[in-house]
């Protein structure tokens, strides 16, 4: 039975015989093409702690080191000859393989990329160098306290296993064997739970037909990771002799599929999204309490998170925390017209820029399909923003940002001494 396709506004979704959805977003004007392949080998599916938290990060480094009949050099040379730029990265739910190339090279490149998924060599002689690299990355977090404090916040704010750093557990990294990794890939890299998106000047029917042939016999399904325990929450601190104090706060936020997700994203941009935002102006510019401050919203499939980061001297860190708290509370009162218009223009500018990148569109299509079960076009995303007015945004802020919402806060600091959070 051939792959079948169902149309959306700009994307075509093919249902391959193996069970994996294939999303094609065609652009006749683009010369390049990009693919984003989400595989259900994310770190949230790793065994807990020393039992295997780190399989995903090692596998992401190993899978491109030879596949099918080709060793690491042979696979690299074959993809280089086709002009394929490729990368892998582990996330919570998926391991992502991405590639960009000329659109006319996609059909030539796909068999090699399929072999990476279906028949990676996972060579034992490469395990120790990869293990060493992963351990160095984990140990290197101590030299990047801004990133580390956000990871510590994530560990505290999100429920296990979705709170993992993505760098793995040291004992697991040190003890895992090539047999463990091969078993993990064989049991988890399955079509059920995988998503492949391709964007650019490509022929969707031809890609679907080729994949049906190349993926024949690939079967099985990998269940989604499940929440194991409630989040830890509360406030944590890690002592550091640095003269700086790094501050991170996390708040509950709507998931991507929630009707309030877009208003929440615009509101977050006004609160802390750029150099014209509330936090930057009030905490850094007017009072000089910190050298960096900002907020970010991440909307997942099942949950969302608003995070705030600030970097300050220890002497001014407590005042920084108190000032941020006041600004977050004051934000409940709504925003002004000039703030609203700057945020809308900035957000739509980012949409336009993302539309010019086939890599961004492939990643967005795959992410949308995972979180929403469908693909949103740029026109739909822009229309969502156009429906928001100053009045409706302020209503949403009143519904979303309030005292009980502030009670969802988790926090973490890295510095000489613990800080006080009211």
- Amino acid 275: pLDDT: 85
Whichever domain contains 91, its CATH number is 3.30.830.10
Residue ranges in the chain modelled with pLDDT below 50: 1-2, 6-9
Domain containing 253 equals: 235-415
The answer to whether residue 293 is domain-embedded is yes
Structural domain count of the chain: 2
pLDDT at 234: 97
Predicted pLDDT at 7 = 44
pTM of the model: 0.94
pLDDT for 28: 87
Domain assignment present for 183: yes
Distances (CA, A) of 313 to 244, 266, 331: 4, 30, 25
Determine the pLDDT at residue 3. Answer: 56
Model confidence over 341-376: pLDDT tens digits? 999 999 999 888 887 899 999 999 999 999 999 999
Are both 71 and 124 inside the same structural domain? yes
How many C-beta atoms lie closer than 10 Å to residue 240's C-beta? 19
Same-domain status, 207 and 254? no
Say what the pLDDT of residue 309 is: 98
223 belongs to a structural domain: no
Q: What pLDDT was estimated at residue 4? A: 54
Same domain, 102 and 70: yes
Quick one: pLDDT at residue 355?
A: 78
pLDDT for residue 208: 98
């Amino acid at each position: 039975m051939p792959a079948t396709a169902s149309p959306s506004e700009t994307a075509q979704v093919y249902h391959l015989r193996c069970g994996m959805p294939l999303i094609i977003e065609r652009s006749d004007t683009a010369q390049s093409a990009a693919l984003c392949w989400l595989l259900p080998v994310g770190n949230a599916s790793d065994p807990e702690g020393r039992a295997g938290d780190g399989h995903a990060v090692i596998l992401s480094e190993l899978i491109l080191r030879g596949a099918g009949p080709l060793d690491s050099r042979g696979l690299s040379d074959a993809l280089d000859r086709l002009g394929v730029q490729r990368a892998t990265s582990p996330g919570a739910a998926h391991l992502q393989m991405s590639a960009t190339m000329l659109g006319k090279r996609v059909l030539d490149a796909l068999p090699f990329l399929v072999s990476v998924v279906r028949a990676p060599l996972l060579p034992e002689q490469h395990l120790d160098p990869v293990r060493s690299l992963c351990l160095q990355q984990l140990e290197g977090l101590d030299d990047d306290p801004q990133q580390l404090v956000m990871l510590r916040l994530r560990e505290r704010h999100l429920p296990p296993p979705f709170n993992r750093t993505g760098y793995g557990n040291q004992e697991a990294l040190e003890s895992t064997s090539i047999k463990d990794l091969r078993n993990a890939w064989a049991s988890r890299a399955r079509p059920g739970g995988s998503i492949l998106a391709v964007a650019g000047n490509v022929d969707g029917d031809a890609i679907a037909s080729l994949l049906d042939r190349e993926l024949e016999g690939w079967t099985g399904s990998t269940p989604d990771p499940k929440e194991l325990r409630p989040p830890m929450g509360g406030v944590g601190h890690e002592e550091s002799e640095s003269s700086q104090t790094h501050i991170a706060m996390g708040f509950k936020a709507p998931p991507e599929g929630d009707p309030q997700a877009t208003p929440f994203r615009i509101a977050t941009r006004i609160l802390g999204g750029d150099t014209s935002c509330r936090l930057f102006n009030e905490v850094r510019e007017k009072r000089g309490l910190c050298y960096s401050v900002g907020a970010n919203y991440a909307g997942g499939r099942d949950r969302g998170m608003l995070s705030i980061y600030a970097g300050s001297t220890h002497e001014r860190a407590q005042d920084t925390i108190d000032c941020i708290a006041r600004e977050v509370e004051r934000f409940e009162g709504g925003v002004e017209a000039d703030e609203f218009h700057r945020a809308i223009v900035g957000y739509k500018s980012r949409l336009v820029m993302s539309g010019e990148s086939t890599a961004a569109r492939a990643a967005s299509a795959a992410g949308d399909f995972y979180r929403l079960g469908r693909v949103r076009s740029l026109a739909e995303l822009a229309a969502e923003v156009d429906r928001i007015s100053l009045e409706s945004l302020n209503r949403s802020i009143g519904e979303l940002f309030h005292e009980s919402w502030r009670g969802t806060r988790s926090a973490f600091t890295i510095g000489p001494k613990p800080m006080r959070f009211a």
